[in-house]
Amino acid sequence: MEYLKNEQEKAAMRWMDEAAKIAKRALCHKANCGTVIVQNGQIIGEGYNAPPLDKEENRRCDEEFGPGKPKYDRTCCMHAEWRAIMDVLKKNPDKIAGSKLYFTRVDSSGKIKKSGKPYCTVCSRMALDVGISKFLLWHKEGIGEYPTDEYDRLSYDYRQS
């Protein structure tokens, strides 16, 4: 991973702002997340987190899952990353290889929240499998650009403290 500087950082901030706009459309009760996938200076896919099909009857955010399921994705929502990847695959499947994925969360006022360490193995595996080359997060130290294979490895290594 490297922190972007100068013009690369400015360009990444622009894409993070675009992801934040998308995050404002999120329907999840727990977090407002947005993703844009960029190739050759253009957004080719976007997504926000929400229940499947954006339907209230598919929501499980407010339910508690019992001890019988100790390892599971703790959200009922489609992740912003999944939706952005599916968006590209529906519209521009030939453009996804080598693209960059920008992910962010926003607070209730729409302001970008800084990201923690990579941890979602579902998103990392999907991004890796479809050929996305870089996964970008905005940390308090700056915008980190991860090669997707490194992002995947770090997601598996993540331990919540």
| Ordered domains of the chain (ranges, CATH) | 2-60+73-157 (3.40.140.10)
91 token code pair: 């519209």
Separation between Cα atoms, residue 23 and residue 33, nearest integer Å = 5
Q: Is the pLDDT of residue 67 over 70?
A: no
What is the structure's pLDDT at 30? 85
- The closest alpha carbon to 148, from 85, 89, 92, belongs to 85
List C-alpha distances in Å: 102 to 17, 61, 64, 68, 137.
10, 24, 30, 34, 6
List C-alpha distances in Å: 100 to 53, 85, 96, 146, 152.
25, 11, 9, 10, 14
- The closest alpha carbon to 3, from 154, 149, 136, 160, belongs to 136
Q: Which residues pair with 144 in a beta bridge?
A: 3, 137
Q: Is the pLDDT of residue 111 over 60?
A: yes
What SS3 class is residue 139? strand
- The closest alpha carbon to 38, from 159, 132, 152, 106, belongs to 132
pLDDT band for position 70 (50/70/90)? Answer: very low
Average pLDDT, the chain: 91
Q: In this predicted model, what pLDDT tens digit does every residue of 41-64 receive, in sequence order? A: 999 999 999 999 999 888 876 666
Query: Position 94: which residue type?
Result: D
Tell me the CA end-to-end span of the chain in Å, nearest whole number.
Answer: 21
